[in-house]
Structure 1
């Protein structure tokens, strides 16, 4: 890390390029497969400059040189020799589900790392570094409104240039609604704008979100919202969880489900903002790419499929396009010009392989003119297991073609089929054994009673068939499994499932306190909600406010714990929640068992005694 940064930024940071070059040259790339190179590029080469990029903006020219080094390594180039780069670096930096290889665009990644520093200044303004920069560059505003200033330091200039990423990714979390303007501020959970687009009519531009909240019930004023906003925006607003504590509004990261800043999501924003990656690449086909990368086949075969789908296999016609002087005739049949679709589908040798395999494919029944179209046809006809076999057979045909060219070995179609099937079978068998050993058996979801003098409350949420009404159910039972009390309550509106489950926990605590229970266990079947209440992972989202409310309500009990139970053991609470969706008011049963849950209660008791 340089102590001083002068005018020649490229010379100061050149040592990063030298370190990457030395590391790459020591890897003996001749011994590595393409999959091995991919791992080393992502895990080592592109991680070397990470620490420096978190504080300084690297010159774009230096990033281009580093990308060039890594690109040469990826395509197998050594020393001063020249290798064909079949795909540009910009396309390789796209996500795998978009047809790329998922390599980092260093310029965008640099900006994402710097955005992390800006995010810290915005959300933690009392930190030492934030106070220093604020005193110098933005004494009367926030980081988002800061100007570059006169004669800025290189650190500040670097962080300031990442401000656009921070600005695009942030939005407000509504607490009391006093700090957020309805129109103009970003507070809706709807990327990328996060803003209201409905006309404000006669409303003042500075009207705050607090005007949309009922101060007595601490809920959204649904009728006003429906009349004021477009239907989709009104629904989005009413689905935002509100805390009964009404804490101050705060900034959260809009591209993470828990409102937490992540470099990954910031990189996604920076990458989309990059002019280099603005144009779409070849075939988009996100669903097909996703399916290919998830197949249970070796990585090298997936990479073969990636090349074939991009039509960058080094067949003779492609080599001629790159000004390589070769005979264009197919080496396997000696008749037609050698293109990728010919070698893998139309050649007589390939036809024999496909017809002789268990897939029994005939190329004559397909009019596909390239491998991409053919792959889409096959995906619509076979399951994932057979799709993996299809790609493996195509790879085996390619291997047979290479053996004929480079080793003079002529394989029969029967040999190719047998070898490909055996290779894939052994790979899947090894994977199955490994996964079977590491897989834990799932425990049966049986309801278990609490110990004496402690009551267990099971909770669940449900939606009506038209999703216009939300129901929650709560049942309290003692150590013998007998129902002490039960409750069903509904809410208007189509709420998020996790929000419904969190409300069920919250209502359970209020219900337990009202009926005088002081030692309780609360169980639900949504693991993510239980973990959120236990604060296993920090949650800055709007739902996190409900978790905070629940933790605060927990202080009213002398003993309380929250647990997860599988859905099968939570059937009684689920029945109550479904019933609540069909009623117009809150239903409470004390020391009696509702008729519609009686059989399930008895089943739970019999299972716990067995």
Structure 2
């Protein structure tokens, strides 16, 4: 025991407006506390948040104005003002904003006061505002000054509190909120509660921000729903059902239409019926020599049928099945929109021809003989500044990211230290949260490609200094813990592993591959068979 005791003279009680006077008196006498609270403040925050929030939080605006008015705008240069704004003005309301969402009228006045101080030349007038404040809040590399946007800043602080509830569910902080607002759910689920506190309403208002960067790592699969969980960051759930415009789905979405199949007259045209169960579709699968019958395939479940197709794809004679799926769907559309009834044998022939053409193109690309350095005009050869005593492989990696593009690009170029044999890869994936994410993803993919090629002595080279710092000090980058755990596990497969920084002009091959992959209009992945137009 610490020996500390409650000071009853400094303690106070606060009652709700529905508590009877007799009950209040009884509680006061039992606890020995006479003083009533609610009108003062504790740790700089008001004890009571009842009434208009603009009036409750007006002290934040007044406190900031007091500090700013005490600074002499005449004696401070722009650099001095920048330091004062970033170190003092932006830090003043931090504690309040980490607990409660401030009204927009308060945040706009805070922004106005700081902007007036920045543009004022004499300390009295507001001065000429030559640039919008939201532009100045952009990063310096984007043409701004890096000032904090008040709304974004306090949303981030509240999101941090919400993340604490998720990351530390056994803390007292989390247990109190769980018992009050989400007993049988998670903080991210929208659960209706009776008269929630303003603190809880403030935290849950940041759910959308947390969801943008929330990634679930697959573990025991106890809490994962394959069809409804968001698998792509910052995207809404994309279930694998009801996303094809067959008549049954159109009817479910409120479109008044005849749900009968236009090819066979079945009363309900579903995805499974069109692709697998319709007589022309059954005949197409049979002519393609895919075993069909009353037992096994096709079934009444589209998921079971797709699982069957995916399992037989590993066999050479069934590699054309994806093209069969596509051309069955196209033949259905030809019937619906153009009244053209295609013969199933023509569908099979067209699908197999397209499949054969595609596989031949892959074979041609992979067997093309290239002499001398590949792509000397665009991608110069290996730099002479890399030490030559290393006897393994040098793998140059890069990620390409652009905010306006749908995909991020990954590229790597690998060459043995003592011969001219080269391997390379280019791929793209859904655009991640930042350029640094794409750099990490490029490293993870390159490491796994090296493992697949059985290259165990590899020196990885990157033009991203933050990636080198991240791998060397993973505990300082908690936001990338999932990727860093993968890198740690994959490193154990190498007998010799290193990651070094090189200037960008020495990494043009990987950079070029990554940029070409990023600009592709669809998902791609090339390993040792990059299009020849990318290499000239």
Q: TM-score, normalised by structure 1?
A: 0.42
Structure of greater relative contact order (alpha carbons < 8 Å, 6+ residues apart): 1
Q: Give the TM-score normalised by the residue count of structure 2.
A: 0.47
Of Structure 1 and Structure 2, the greater helix share is in 1
